[in-house]
Amino acid sequence: MFYITGSIAVLWFVLWFLLTTDEPSSHKWISKSEVNFIEEFRAGKTNANITPPYLEILMSPAVWVIILAEFANSWGLFMILTEGPNFISEVLDQDITKVKNSANFLAVLTNHGFNFRMAFSMLYPP
What residues have CB less than 8 Å from 81, skipping those under 6 apart?
106, 110
52 SS3 class: coil
Q: Can you give the residue range of the structural domain that contains 24?
A: 2-43
Are residues 33 and 86 both part of a single domain? no
Dump pLDDT digits (tens) for 14-66: 999 988 988 888 888 888 899 888 888 776 555 667 788 999 999 999 999 99
How many distinct structural domains can be found in the chain? 2
Would you say residue 23 lies in a domain?
yes
Are residues 59 and 115 both part of a single domain? yes
Q: What is the pTM of this model?
A: 0.44
| Nearest Cα to Cα of residue 34 among 42, 26, 24, 43 | 24
Dump pLDDT digits (tens) for 107-124: 666 666 666 666 766 666
Beta carbons of 96 and 103 less than 8 angstroms apart: no
User: What span, in angstroms and rounded, lies between the C-alpha atoms of 25 and 19?
Assistant: 14
